[in-house]
Structure 1
């Protein structure tokens, strides 16, 4: 298995530190907080890649042409997820290009190289999501599932014209494994696992997954499973214990998913 953790970094490049308007905690919370610790399987996976530079500086899960000012939430950010300005002085086009060349392009080049390795048979792009998010039914926000896995398909099982990044049987197996291994984390009125809802997969899985036959899947974990109500920049001892408990369960899931199918999938419904 190849595991990618693109949004877990918190490092601000030295030339930009004095221009950043955000605190270290705001920077951490704008990315996939603590996921570099949670998904650190660098010793166990066939290939592992994570980014230490903060998402607020460079977003590896965006199209490289998705730029400010047209999109303040593009590959380089000018606004946080909750609308705060990022920089005291906006980045110039030359600085934006420099960030893409220094951080974005090497990461994607490494992903392409790792995907081609013969020992890699499945790729999971690992993220976290906020506990609640906008509802598709109205202006209010709703609780999100504990896990969302995505392959670019639709939540109703139909396949878009541009195709999907992982076959239905792999998605069904991944979903069943998460349901089984994390059953003790179930919460009333909150789905444990959903497929392509609320996320269908981002630029990383789409751009890499559709040019290889190897399955590419985006995984989102709900932060309510590990982030305390009042987090700090770095996890404390209690936080680390909670992260390690989750990490061991993910190890079971990933180990089973990367092997030939040997566990029954009770739900045979089509998952695309």
Structure 2
């Protein structure tokens, strides 16, 4: 069973979209509530929004399975994804609005959780780890851009409305500061969108695990509010009009990441980028 899609790129940059998947295997779906099957917390349409990335030479890794099957941005050992937030499980039991995902008595037990980690979580992370190391070995540097989206208001976790662009670097631990400065310069130049660095969203398990600047592997998380490109309420439609407005900012961000990575690269550049 295919659980992710991967396409290698031609630059030292990898785009990861771990929460975009909506596939739920039938045996798991049979145990879920109607609210769980609606999947209100999925990062819908991000693959469509970032469709320009391959043209920049960026490789991409996207999940196919829903985060309700297993959350790829959580630690299977149970450590908090971001300290200070209300924790959610690697196999979530409730939605962000505290609605049950499973029918009473049909929640996954430890054996089922272990099975899902092996079948769905581990393959994604093995591909992610392998590709970042391959990029670093080839170019001398690798940069992971971990793309997420979030409703603009999530009372379970945050008071009020979130900024449009929420850049996280694990409180500065996951990437080099000069790259962060360049990215924030792009975001601060926008008159349309608000932005925050390591604010209420500072980065989850993925960037905290793979961001190792001392080993020339850098990782950045972007949480984009869904109100910038889609309807936040069911049926969660993609909004081409909104997406057309926000895409230039995303393209500038990723272009800066690619430019910075090439400046740090020591490996062989492909002819198309000479």
TM over 0.5: yes
Deviations 1:73-100 (A, max 9, x none): 2111111111111112111322211111
Aligned residue for 1:172? 181
Picking from 160, 168, 175, the partner of 1:150 is: 168
Distance (whole Å) between structure 1 residues aligned to residue 53 and residue 102 of structure 2: 33
1:213 aligns with 2:211: no
Aligned-partner SS, 1:207:
helix
In the alignment, the residues of structure 2 paired with residue 38 and residue 177 of structure 1 have an alpha-carbon distance, to the nearest angstrom, of 18
Structure 1 residues 202-211 or 3-12, which shifts more?
202-211
Does residue 9 in structure 1 map to residue 21 in structure 2? yes
1:32 maps to which residue? Answer: 43
Deviations 1:214-240 (A, max 9, x none): 2211111112212225442553xxx13
1:41–1:97 Cα change, 3 Å: farther
| Distance change (3 Å), C-alpha of 1:178 and 1:25 | farther
Matched position secondary structure for 1:33: coil
Residue 9 of structure 1 contacts residue 54 of structure 1 at CA under 8 Å; is this kept in 2? yes
Equivalent positions of 1:95-244 (< 5 A) are 95-116=112-133, 117=135, 118-119=138-139, 121-133=142-154, 141-153=159-171, 164-180=173-189, 183-186=190-193, 192-210=194-212, 212-228=215-231, 230-235=233-238, 239-244=239-244
Q: Residue 258 of structure 1 aligns to a residue in which SS?
A: helix
Q: For structure 1, list consecutive stretches of 5 or more residues without a partner in the other structure.
A: 154-158, 187-191, 263-272
Asked if 1:87 corresponds to 2:110, the answer is no
Root-mean-square deviation over aligned CA pairs: 2.8
**1:41-86 CA-partner distances (Å, limit 9, x unpaired):** 563343210101111111011111229xxx9821111111111111
> How many correspondences in the alignment?
236
Equivalent pair of 2:175/2:220 in contact (CA under 8 Å): yes
Q: Distance in 2 between matches of 1:205 and 1:25?
A: 28
Q: 1:48 aligns with which of 52, 60, 81?
A: 60
TM-score with structure 1 setting the length: 0.77
The 3 A distance-change label for structure 1 pair 4 and 172 is same
Equivalent-residue separation in structure 2 for 1:41 and 1:102 (angstroms) = 30
- Going from structure 1 to structure 2, the CA distance change for 1:173 and 1:42 (only over 3 Å counts) comes to closer
TM-score between the two structures when normalised by the length of structure 2 = 0.76
Say which SS state the counterpart of residue 143 (structure 1) adopts.
coil
> Is contact 2:212–2:218 with CA below 8 Å preserved after alignment?
no
For 1:141, what is the secondary structure of its paired residue? Answer: coil
Distance 1:245 1:19 in 2: 40
Q: What is the CA–CA distance in structure 1 between the aligned matches of 2:184 and 2:93, rounded to whole Å? A: 36
Q: 1:58 maps to what in 2?
A: 70
The unaligned stretches of length 5 or more in structure 2 are 1-12, 80-85, 263-274
Distance 1:25 1:98 in 2: 20
